[in-house]
């Protein structure tokens, strides 16, 4: 009985810690921490790894989140040039 009780205590705690890491970084608060001129590594420290990045003509466009809710950042020369967000809370 003790192991079962422990499982019902540990599982919700792990979910509470791990699940916000998946989408919790894509928030209005973190978007407001981003500034033009920051490096790609500085943005990754705030938002984590991007869902995807594309590069064309020297512009690296990265997306955090998905099509419904997320942050887009365009980098030129390794620095933020443009920022946009959609449906952040």
pLDDT in tens, the chain (89 residues): 555 554 444 444 333 333 334 457 999 999 999 999 999 999 999 999 999 999 999 999 999 999 899 999 999 999 999 999 999 98
Q: Output the pLDDT for position 18.
A: 37
With contact defined as beta carbons under 8 Å apart, do 64 and 52 qualify?
Answer: no
Domain made up of 26-86: CATH architecture: 2-Layer Sandwich (3.30)
Q: Sign of the CA dihedral 30, 89, 21, 70? A: negative
Domain ranges of the chain: 26-86
């Amino acid at each position: 009985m003790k192991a079962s009780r422990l499982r019902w205590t540990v599982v919700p705690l792990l979910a509470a810690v791990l699940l916000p890491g998946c989408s919790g970084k894509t928030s209005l608060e973190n978007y407001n921490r981003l500034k033009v001129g920051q490096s790609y590594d500085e943005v990754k420290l705030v938002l984590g790894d991007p869902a995807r990045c594309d590069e064309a003509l020297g512009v690296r466009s990265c997306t955090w989140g998905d099509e419904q809710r997320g942050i887009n950042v365009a980098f030129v020369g390794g620095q933020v040039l443009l920022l946009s967000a959609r449906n952040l809370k």
